Structure 1
Amino acid sequence: MPQNIISATPSAARLTQSLRDIGYDFVGAVADLIDNSIAASSTEVSVEIEFAGTDSAVYVVDNGCGLTAVEATEALRFGTRRSYALGDLGRYGLGLKTASLSQGRCLTLVSRSSERRRVVRRTLDLDLIGRWDDWVIVENPRDRHSERAESMLGGDAGTVVIWQKLDRVLPASGADGGWAKRRFETLIVKTRQHLAMVFHRFLSGENLAPRVSISVNGEKLMPWDPYVRDEPATQQLDPLEFELSHHTGVSKVQLGRYILPGKRTFSSPDAFDDAAGPLNWNRQQGLYIYRENRLVQWGSWGGTRGIDEHTKLARASIDFDNDLDEIFNINVAKMRVAIPGQLKQMLERPISELCILADRTYRRQDHNDDPSEDRSESKGGSSSNAEVGLALKSAAIQSGHYETLKKIVEVMREQNPEMAAGLGFM
């Protein structure tokens, strides 16, 4: 090191404590660990959320390629030196540590690699780091949790991640009480819902091979498809593709557009309720953004428009690869992205088209329980003026003349604003 350079190694105790608040919730933290399992070529992942008072723990078990002693130590390094290739779900080399320590003060890896059959154990303990104020890792820890993890592996390759000292999950007082136990029961349900949505493509094997099986506390998850494509009445618009420029070249972004059926045209009331999703109908509308086939953000229109009751049947998918991470400004937790300005402009027209058609479907199927009721304002009409406006927009979209209709609407707004308002064009 040159003489005029001073080493400024950060305080391990202070920095690790700060990194606990990077933005994870419980279900998002579990999902980040499953990213690592998928990256390790796992086909089976099991999550066990175990309530035992202050000794409660979370186990994430996979049958991936496992880790050698050197790899296990490197995996617990903050800002690992490993590089990430196109197609990898990882990004910053922080996910395993920050996700785990956001929920508890102790993280243990128990792993057996496919190359070397010896079990490797490593622990990252914030209490120990705080005591020494150094970046230390415990080698070969022995307690009931690590022993149980080794039994979970059996004689096969794979990895178990254990969370202990769950100070962010358990209450500060009454960790052995009924409230704490009920919280764990709620977390099990929420984890199932979240993982079934975030990893639905991996669970179904959609465009992927092989498919991944995920279970939570013994219950195997079924994929939750935001677009209910198995419903006969679901409408799919033509997919679109856009090109985005970035510092290494040009990459493509895919847009899929779907209009879900109204309540009366779903195959069953239960199917309709299930399609509402964890956030319910209004908040589940919008853009579903996928990075390397993994869902990272959903439940809004990404700043392209606002949430509206009349467009709750509209859902759209956006797919990008990890070479666009900087353009999408993905965060460390891989739970938030920002749609780049150049893409927002390209999305304006196709999203408007989708929402117009979804609005029309909603008004026809959900606004009125009796589809045969005549809502005309005159004997000669079979629809309200607003319905006529929607029909014109829909016809313009389907015939490829939407831009022409927009110009006509601009003239109508100037020359006959009352008529434009009546048709819903204002």
Structure 2
Amino acid sequence: MAEWAASVPTDGSVELPPDPRTMEAIGRNHSFETALADLVDNSVDADATHVLIRFVRDQGRLCSLYVVDNGHGIGPERIDEAMTVGGRRAYGEADLGWFGLGLKAASFSQANQLTLLSRAKEAPAVGRRWRIDDAKTRFLCDTVPESFAEHELEQDRGLPDTGSGTIVRWDQVGGFPATDNESHVERFVSQKVVDASNHLGLVFHRIIESGRVTIVFDVQDARSTSPSSPIEVESINPFDYHRTGATGFPKDLKAAGDRSLTFRCHIWPPRSTARQFKLGGRPADHQGMYFYRRDRLLQPGGWEGVHAPHPKLQLARVEVEIDRDAEALLRMNPEKSRVQVRPEFSHACESARAEDGTSFSDYFAQAVRVYEAGNKRRKTRKPMIRPGRGFSPGLRDTIDAEIEALGADPVDIRWRDFDDDRFFDIDRTEQTIWLNKRYRKMLLGDRHAGLNDLPLLKTMIYLLMEDVFQGDYLGSRDKDNIELWKSLLTTAVRAERR
């Protein structure tokens, strides 16, 4: 029988510094959105009240990205620690950081150059720069002259002055388009801002709602002093419904045992088209557990083995707070975008009960009943002809989700010149509602005209007129109603012009 040793003996040690090529590997699981979230974590930990994320263009090309905050900053004695790969400072009870990799991993996942400029109160400005190409052969971090760091930190970027703050700058960003075509760059930036705003608004929704931090995006031309108008990140709370989907919910289920673990179980109302329910995708993809650590959302959905995903469970969402006790049952990935649960977590779910005895099985059954009842009510609605050109995509999506479609060509709504002052007319042959262009500028105010402009007005007229496009001919009652509506709305829009 082979002998087995309970421990492995050693007779010395050797220092094995990391291969510089490891710089290329860290942060590979980050997306652009999760990388920005990691940088915002640092700003929140620094007690920043405002964070600016700025795209910088030079001669039409995107060249840099800045993340600027007005937090407490980093002093000369800590700047090297902050830029050390794997450097793990002492984190406070409320801090969002954990691994010591956030700044570097997030930045190197997106850019070849990372510059950190910072100033603590009553301390000189300091700066460091990492370049991945240099780090392939050596672990030498460049120092940035104090004068340059001071100049960058002194610039007015619209943040409240606290006497301290930090700038994270990315250069040679891999995902930026290699073109100076203005329309292409603008489309790219617009989409990036939308995607990143949605992600940050979801991840930090509690922190934004509490007023702790304001996050904005803008675009700056390197040869101009005037940036674009700022776009503020809005909170997207995945539990923000006006009424619960089931009486008695949300309901707290508490796990049995020594560890304190509570599952706050929600049931959304059926057929919701709210942004915070759809979360930019199919609602069925967002059912499950929402894990929070210190008010920061780590994972939006997923049942983690407690139940298989199912379309009929799309109304079920559960808030889980990761505190000291819960940390023993799961762990988060370095990107802070997913959690991995241990077997004990499933046991905790099985034992969890509400005060009235409700278990997870009861909760799932109730969520399914609410979903099925909502679907039955939907089937009693009268089918409608779909809206076509001129209507906002959001309206078309909502009607697709809520109402059965009639098998007819979509109804368009368009602007054209009229010979008189009628507000609108209908053309059943062309399946079109025509609006009188003479009123368009007045109704728009200072907004720009576009194919899908004035969505509220167009939606109301569509709801009023949709059924007159049904059938092969108009009855006398339909014709009389059309003339009545034309008269009333024309009178109203005339009054609006005065």
Normalising by structure 1, we get a TM-score of 0.74
Q: 1:225 aligns with which of 237, 243, 249?
A: 237
User: 1:195 and 2:203 equivalent?
Assistant: no
Percent identity over the alignment? Answer: 27
- Aligned partner of 1:125: which letter? R
Helix, strand or coil at the partner of 2:378: coil
Aligned to 1:135: 140
User: 1:360 and 2:362 equivalent?
Assistant: no
Tell me the distance in 2 between the aligned counterparts of 1:31 and 1:345: 32
Structure whose residues are more often helix by fraction = 1
User: 1:256 and 2:256 equivalent?
Assistant: no
Question: Contact 1:87–1:322 at 8 Å: present in 2 too?
Answer: no
What are the equivalent positions in structure 2 for 1:47-126 lying under 5 Å apart?
A: 47-52=53-58, 55-114=62-121, 116-126=122-132
Tell me the distance in 2 between the aligned counterparts of 1:356 and 1:48: 47
Say if 1:287 and 1:51 are closer, same or farther in 2 by CA, change over 3 A: farther
Q: Which has the higher contact order (CA 8 A, sep 6+)?
A: 1
Tell me the distance in 2 between the aligned counterparts of 1:123 and 1:176: 30
Tell me the distance in 2 between the aligned counterparts of 1:181 and 1:351: 47
User: Relative to structure 2, which stretch is displaced further, 67-76 or 177-186?
Assistant: 177-186
- Aligned partner of 1:215: which letter? V
Say if 1:170 and 1:176 are closer, same or farther in 2 by CA, change over 3 A: farther
Question: Contact 2:45–2:95 at 8 Å: present in 1 too?
Answer: yes
What are the equivalent positions in structure 2 for 1:230-241 lying under 5 Å apart?
A: 230-231=242-243, 236-241=249-254
What are the equivalent positions in structure 2 for 1:229-378 lying under 5 Å apart?
A: 229-231=241-243, 236-242=249-255, 251-263=259-271, 272-321=274-323, 324-325=326-327, 327-348=329-350, 350-370=359-379
Helix, strand or coil at the partner of 1:301: coil
Say if 1:312 and 1:367 are closer, same or farther in 2 by CA, change over 3 A: farther
Question: Contact 1:122–1:141 at 8 Å: present in 2 too?
Answer: no
User: 1:212 and 2:221 equivalent?
Assistant: no
Helix, strand or coil at the partner of 1:56: strand
1:303-329 per-residue CA deviation (whole Å, 9 max, x = no partner) reads 211221111111111111267546412
Report the CA distance between 1:252 and its aligned residue: 2.5
> Which structure has the larger Rg over C-alpha atoms?
2
- Aligned partner of 1:345: which letter? H
Report the CA distance between 1:179 and its aligned residue: 4.7
Aligned to 1:19: 26
Question: Contact 2:245–2:269 at 8 Å: present in 1 too?
Answer: yes
Q: Can you give the 5+ residue segments of structure 1 that lack an aligned partner in the other structure? A: 245-249, 374-426
- Aligned partner of 1:79: which letter? G
Tell me the distance in 2 between the aligned counterparts of 1:360 and 1:324: 31
Tell me the distance in 2 between the aligned counterparts of 1:259 and 1:345: 23
Tell me the distance in 1 between the aligned counterparts of 2:85 and 2:61: 27
Question: Contact 1:48–1:59 at 8 Å: present in 2 too?
Answer: yes
Aligned to 1:409: none
Alignment RMSD: 2.9
Report the CA distance between 1:140 and its aligned residue: 2.4
Say if 1:243 and 1:113 are closer, same or farther in 2 by CA, change over 3 A: farther
Normalising by structure 2, we get a TM-score of 0.64
Tell me the distance in 2 between the aligned counterparts of 1:87 and 1:238: 26
Question: Contact 1:55–1:164 at 8 Å: present in 2 too?
Answer: no
Helix, strand or coil at the partner of 1:257: strand
- Aligned partner of 1:354: which letter? Y
Q: Can you give the 5+ residue segments of structure 2 that lack an aligned partner in the other structure? A: 1-9, 219-229, 353-358, 383-498
1:217-274 per-residue CA deviation (whole Å, 9 max, x = no partner) reads 3222221111124446575232133367xxxxx65222111111112xx5xx5xx355
**Number of residue-to-residue matches in the alignment:** 350
What are the equivalent positions in structure 2 for 1:142-153 lying under 5 Å apart?
A: 147-148=151-152, 150-151=154-155, 152=157
User: 1:165 and 2:172 equivalent?
Assistant: yes
1:321-353 per-residue CA deviation (whole Å, 9 max, x = no partner) reads 267546412111111111221221232463322
Aligned to 1:34: 40
